[in-house]
């Protein structure tokens, strides 16, 4: 039977490290356009306590989203040992495309996947580029689409990238802007004949977009006098938090139930690195669904849910593939993924979209 197997991974993290003290000189405003009356020290201290973010990565102004996506993609191709001309599809997950360095406007023509193909110098006319605009869950959704194409025998090898340069679309007067960062991750997914149940085992997606559609949007700066850019990511953190705790744990349990799996069968949960407090709360709710005591939470969290947000912030679609590659390359010790391990990948974001995927690593080379 054809299985969708990860044959290569790669990522790119910018070298520019932005610590929290970078924001001490910012002037933060509220939704009414009024300057916050709290000191920046107090604002940043509270921010770090909630999110756990101490630093994040920002891209060099000369680099574009498509540049770092191509770097991560090239590393995944090298890791896979698959010749680039054998790639049948490139699926690029992102939200803003390339941000023009002068106008700070989104540039989506041609598509990001097309630009990645060009920068990889792939000549194969049958390598088709798709863009996946799906909010932060875009990379997992790209994997879901790739799985369907591989199982349907429309493709043999698919490159899925997740990349974003959120530092170029943040409002410096919005305290929520401190969450966001830049980065890129990539995976090569291949159709492999395997009699065992390996690779992508099961996945699911849901979208709630009544009032939820306004939880993550674009908007003008909170500072009415700031005119550098018209594009700024705007986030209703409280609503997203409430939505995540209501919807994500139930969805994950339903995914596991579908395959008659228990949480104890899962070696790692790779969750979108959006906000540490929210991610911990999601895991607590999930443990509760399996009747685990709250006392067991601290023991389990350090083992089952690796976190990168403390050092890398929230790079949207790049967080999960970056985390996956770091673990597989032995750069997240003591976290390890071994042959035969089953993991759960999950993300949520603009839309509001949620998706999850069960993936099992083959016990032997295929």
Q: Is residue 148 domain-shared with residue 41, that is, in the same domain?
A: yes
Count CB neighbours of 154 within 10 A: 13
Query: What DSSP element (H or E) covers 344?
Result: strand 342-349
- Final residue before a domain boundary, out of 161, 193, 225: 193
My answer on whether 80 and 209 are in the same domain is no
Is 9 found in the same domain as 37? yes
Q: How far apart are CA 253 and CA 114, in angstroms?
A: 37
Is 247 among the domain residues?
yes
Residue 113 near residue 130, CB atoms below 8 Å: yes
Q: For residue 281, with 0-12 CB atoms within 10 Å meaning exposed, 13-18 middle and 19 or more buried, which class applies?
A: middle
Would you say residue 122 lies in a domain? yes
Radius of gyration of the chain (CA): 20
Query: Which residues have a Cβ under 8 Å from the Cβ of 98 and sit 6 or more positions away?
Result: 64, 65, 66, 106, 107, 108, 112, 115
Same domain (yes/no): 104, 210: no
- pTM for the whole structure: 0.92
Same structural domain, 122 and 219: no
Claim to verify: residue 297 and residue 256 sit in the same structural domain:
yes
Residues 312 and 228 grouped into a single domain: yes
Could you tell me if 165 and 217 lie in one domain? Answer: no
**Has residue 360 got a pLDDT over 60?**
yes
Question: CB-based contacts of 103: which residues, under 8 Å, 6+ apart?
Answer: none
Considering the domain architecture, whether residues 68 and 126 belong to the same structural domain is answered as yes
CATH of the domain at 43: 3.40.47.10
Domain contains 150: yes
Domain boundary residue among 193, 216, 242? 193
| Full residue range of the structural domain in which residue 26 is found | 2-193
**CB-based contacts of 114: which residues, under 8 Å, 6+ apart?**
129
Q: Per residue in 306-355, pLDDT tens?
A: 999 999 999 999 999 999 999 999 999 999 999 999 999 999 999 899 99
Beta-strand relationship, 353-360 and 199-207: antiparallel
Residues, the chain, total? 366
The per-residue pLDDT for 291 is 84
Does 174 fall in a domain?
yes
Contacts of 148 (CB under 8 A, 6+ apart): none
Count of the separate structural domains present in the chain: 2
Is 280 a member of any domain?
Answer: yes
Classify residue 366: in a domain, yes or no.
no
Task: Please check whether residue 69 is in contact with residue 186, taking contact to mean a CB–CB distance below 8 angstroms.
Answer: yes
Q: Are 70 and 120 in contact (CB under 8 A)?
A: yes
pLDDT bucket at 303, cuts 50 / 70 / 90: confident
> Given pLDDT bands bounded at 50, 70 and 90, which one contains residue 294?
low
Q: What is the pLDDT of residues 181-235, one digit of tens each?
A: 999 999 999 999 887 889 999 999 999 988 989 988 888 888 988 877 777 888 8
Whether residue 236 is found in the same domain as residue 157? no
pLDDT at 317 (0 to 100): 96
Residues 17 and 161 in one domain: yes
* Contact present, 239 and 178 (Cβ < 8 Å): no
Q: Where does a domain end: 193, 225, 242? A: 193
The two three-digit tokens of residue 205, written as one number: 């997606």
For the chain, what is the mean pLDDT? 92
The β-bridge partners of 48 are none
Is residue 365 in a domain? no
- Do residues 76 and 141 both lie within one domain? yes
- Six-digit token pair at 107? 């540039």
Which pairs with CB-CB distance under 8 Å and at least 24 residues apart come from 33-42? 33/222, 33/223, 33/224, 36/175
């Amino acid at each position: 039977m054809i299985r969708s197997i990860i044959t290569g991974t790669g990522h790119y993290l910018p070298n520019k490290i932005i610590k929290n003290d970078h924001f001490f000189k910012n002037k933060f405003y509220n939704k009414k356009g009024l300057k916050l009356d709290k000191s920046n020290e107090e604002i940043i201290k509270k921010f770090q306590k909630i999110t756990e973010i101490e630093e994040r990565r920002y891209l060099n102004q000369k680099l574009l989203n498509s540049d770092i996506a191509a770097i991560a993609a090239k590393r995944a191709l090298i890791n896979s040992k698959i010749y680039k001309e054998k790639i049948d599809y490139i699926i690029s997950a992102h939200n803003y495309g390339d941000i023009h360095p002068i106008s700070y406007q989104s540039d989506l023509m041609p598509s990001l996947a097309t630009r990645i193909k060009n920068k990889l110098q792939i000549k194969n006319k049958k390598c088709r580029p798709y863009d996946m605009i799906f909010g932060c869950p875009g990379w997992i959704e790209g994997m879901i689409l790739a799985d369907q194409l591989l199982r349907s025998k429309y493709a043999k090898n698919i490159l899925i990238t997740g990349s974003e340069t959120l530092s170029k679309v943040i409002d410096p007067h919005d305290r929520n802007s401190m969450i966001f960062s830049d980065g890129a991750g990539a995976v090569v997914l291949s159709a492999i004949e395997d009699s065992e149940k390996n690779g992508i085992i099961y996945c699911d997606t849901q979208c709630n977009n009544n009032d939820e559609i306004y939880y993550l949007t674009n908007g003008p700066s909170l500072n009415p006098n700031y005119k550098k850019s018209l594009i700024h990511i705007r986030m209703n953190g409280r609503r997203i938090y409430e939505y995540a705790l209501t919807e994500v744990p139930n969805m994950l349990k339903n995914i596991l139930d579908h395959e008659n799996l228990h949480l104890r069968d899962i070696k790692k949960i790779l969750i979108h690195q959006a906000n540490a407090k929210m991610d911990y709360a999601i895991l607590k709710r999930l443990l509760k669904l399996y009747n685990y005591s709250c006392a067991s939470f601290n023991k389990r969290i350090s083992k089952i849910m690796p976190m990168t947000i403390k050092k890398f912030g929230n790079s949207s679609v790049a967080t999960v593939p970056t985390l996956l590659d770091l673990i597989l390359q032995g750069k997240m010790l003591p976290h390890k993924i071994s042959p035969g391990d089953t993991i759960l990948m999950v993300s949520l974001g603009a839309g509001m979209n949620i998706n999850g995927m069960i993936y099992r690593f083959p016990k032997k080379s295929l």
